């Protein structure tokens, strides 16, 4: 049996809201780098339609939609595989999701993570290349609301469109003294009265010994004060089942995960559940985990010989190039739709002094290129890019190759605790020591 060597490139969030000229200075260099790989992945962080659908009650922070023709720009960059399972998938409810799915399929992009029902959203997508067949499994933990999850079909009722969601099981561990304080607060305030009645009537299970709640917060008696997160077991098993199925159909498997959740007090530090999720995916047969979501880079880990990118940051960032939105977002900031988008963004950003678009880290990222041969990672390099932070809003947010070492030096520092060693060569490209 011949050895299969397949090459990969990947980018983080393409939050595209306006057309881009493919003639801008720097476009070709970025496109050439992406296009040298067989498999070329990105996260599409917008819905695709013409604004003809109503906005969802729950949305991803901004209501995002773009003309479906932006997929031609994605093709011009060289991409051939994507996920749009993220916190914006349901910005325009089920109609917006289905329109996006149709546009992506019509454009010929292999995709996974969102679908007409849960089985559809959970199943792998497959890309055939001259150098092997690659499966994509995709999920999202940052859904804004659990109603974004797709629903399974029954024997008689069709399933619900949505995303392949990864719910998070959360609990707060407390000392015995702290636990008793929470118990007293719950009992004296009556905050759990409705749920207590529901449990007594048999509609909810009784709380186990050593567990108490305050509404949706779950507390367990332990030895220390600590916040614990873990992947929901039902969702994790569904994702592992997709990886298991993909092993029968593909040479290599990559997993995409959109996760904003943080660990500790830094946006750069991934949450505990995300580390556990990524490790379980590799343990189950995945060859790479590609994270995105928080709009900045997070550590790179080599786990059992395979790469985990906890976040690739942004590839395109047009967060304040939105031309129209539903009334809900105007109301959130104290306006009606008689106001202009400029007024709204000035209010939200405190006259452009806060938010994503004022943080240089959101405009600095990297594109990994890696090679897998005979089931093993044999080469991994990292191309730093910047998104023109200094340019005005109507021109910034588009990627160019960055020539100095600042981005990779930050990645070196945050990845070192994971045992990852990155050497920066004379070209300014990061070479990961394997």
Quick: pLDDT tens for 140-159. 999 989 999 999 999 999 99
What are the DSSP E strand ranges found in 222-358?
226-231, 252-258, 262-263, 266-270, 288-292, 300-303, 306-309, 314-317
Residue 108, pLDDT score: 98
Q: Report whether pLDDT(2) > 90.
A: no
Residue 265, pLDDT score: 87
Residue 264, pLDDT score: 85
Mind listing the pLDDT tens digit for each residue in 177-210? 999 999 999 999 999 999 989 999 999 999 999 9
Residue 403, pLDDT score: 82
Query: Cα 198 vs. chain centroid, distance in angstroms?
Result: 36
Residue 404, pLDDT score: 85
What residues does 217 pair with on adjacent strands? 214
Mind listing the pLDDT tens digit for each residue in 83-110? 999 999 999 999 999 999 999 999 999 9
Mind listing the pLDDT tens digit for each residue in 29-76? 999 999 999 999 999 999 999 999 999 999 999 999 999 999 999 999
Instruction: Report how far residue 308's alpha carbon sits from residue 300's, in angstroms, rounded to the nearest whole number.
Output: 6
Q: Are 149 and 113 in contact (CB under 8 A)?
A: no
For the ranges 311-315, 349-353, 381-385, the lowest mean pLDDT is seen at 349-353
Instruction: Report how far residue 215's alpha carbon sits from residue 98's, in angstroms, rounded to the nearest whole number.
Output: 34
For residue 256, give the nearest of 44, 38, 15, 26 by alpha carbon: 44
Residue 1, pLDDT score: 65
Q: Report whether pLDDT(302) > 80.
A: yes
Residue 7, pLDDT score: 98
234 φ, ψ (degrees, to nearest 5): -65, -45
Percent of the chain with pLDDT strictly greater than 70:
100
Mind listing the pLDDT tens digit for each residue in 370-426? 999 999 999 999 999 999 999 998 899 999 999 888 999 999 999 999 999 999 999
Instruction: Report how far residue 238's alpha carbon sits from residue 219's, in angstroms, rounded to the nearest whole number.
Output: 27
Residue 353, pLDDT score: 93
Mind listing the pLDDT tens digit for each residue in 210-222? 999 998 899 999 9
Question: pTM (2 decimals)?
Answer: 0.96
Neighbours of 391 (CB within 10 A): 12
Q: Is 180 helix (H, G, I), strand (E, B) or coil?
A: helix
| pLDDT tier for residue 226 given thresholds of 50, 70 and 90 | very high
């Amino acid at each position: 049996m011949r050895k299969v060597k397949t090459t990969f490139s990947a980018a983080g969030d393409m939050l595209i809201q306006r057309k881009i000229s493919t003639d801008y200075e720097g476009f070709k260099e970025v496109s050439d780098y992406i296009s040298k790989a067989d498999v070329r992945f990105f996260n599409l962080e917008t819905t695709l339609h013409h604004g003809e659908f109503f906005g969802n009650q729950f949305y991803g922070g901004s209501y995002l939609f773009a003309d479906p023709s932006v997929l031609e720009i994605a093709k011009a960059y060289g991409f051939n595989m994507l996920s749009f399972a993220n916190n914006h998938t349901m910005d325009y409810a089920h109609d917006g999701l289905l329109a996006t799915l149709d546009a992506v399929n019509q454009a010929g992009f292999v995709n996974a993570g969102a679908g007409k029902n849960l089985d559809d959203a959970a199943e792998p997508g497959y890309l055939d290349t001259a150098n092997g067949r690659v499966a994509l499994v995709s999920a999202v933990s940052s859904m804004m609301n659990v109603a974004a999850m797709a629903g399974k079909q029954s024997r008689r009722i069709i399933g619900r469109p949505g995303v392949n969601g990864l719910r998070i099981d959360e609990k707060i561990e407390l000392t015995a003294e702290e636990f008793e304080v929470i118990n007293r607060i719950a009992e004296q305030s009556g905050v759990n009265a409705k749920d207590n009645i529901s449990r007594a009537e048999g509609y909810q299970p009784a709380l186990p010994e050593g567990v108490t709640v305050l509404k949706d917060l779950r507390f367990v008696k332990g030895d220390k004060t600590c916040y614990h997160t873990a992947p929901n077991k039902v969702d994790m098993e569904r994702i592992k089942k997709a990886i298991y199925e993909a092993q029968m159909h593909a040479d290599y498997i990559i997993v995409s995960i959109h996760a904003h959740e943080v660990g500790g007090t830094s946006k750069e530090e991934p949450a505990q559940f995300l580390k556990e999720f990524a490790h379980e995916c590799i343990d189950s047969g995945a060859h790479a985990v590609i994270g995105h979501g928080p709009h900045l880079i997070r550590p790179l880990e080599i786990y059992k010989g395979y790469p985990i990118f906890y976040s690739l940051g942004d590839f395109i960032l047009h967060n304040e190039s939105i031309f129209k939105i539903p009334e809900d977002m105007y109301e959130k900031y104290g306006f009606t739709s008689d106001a202009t988008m400029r007024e709204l963004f000035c209010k939200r950003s405190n006259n452009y002094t806060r938010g994503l678009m004022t943080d240089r880290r959101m405009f600095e990222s990297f594109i990994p290129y890696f090679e897998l041969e005979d089931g093993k990672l044999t080469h991994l390099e990292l191309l730093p890019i910047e998104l023109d932070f200094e340019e005005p809003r109507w021109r910034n947010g588009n990627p160019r190759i960055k020539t100095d070492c600042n981005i990779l030096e930050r990645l070196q520092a945050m990845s070192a605790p994971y045992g990852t060693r990155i050497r920066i060569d004379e070209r300014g490209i990061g070479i990961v020591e394997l």
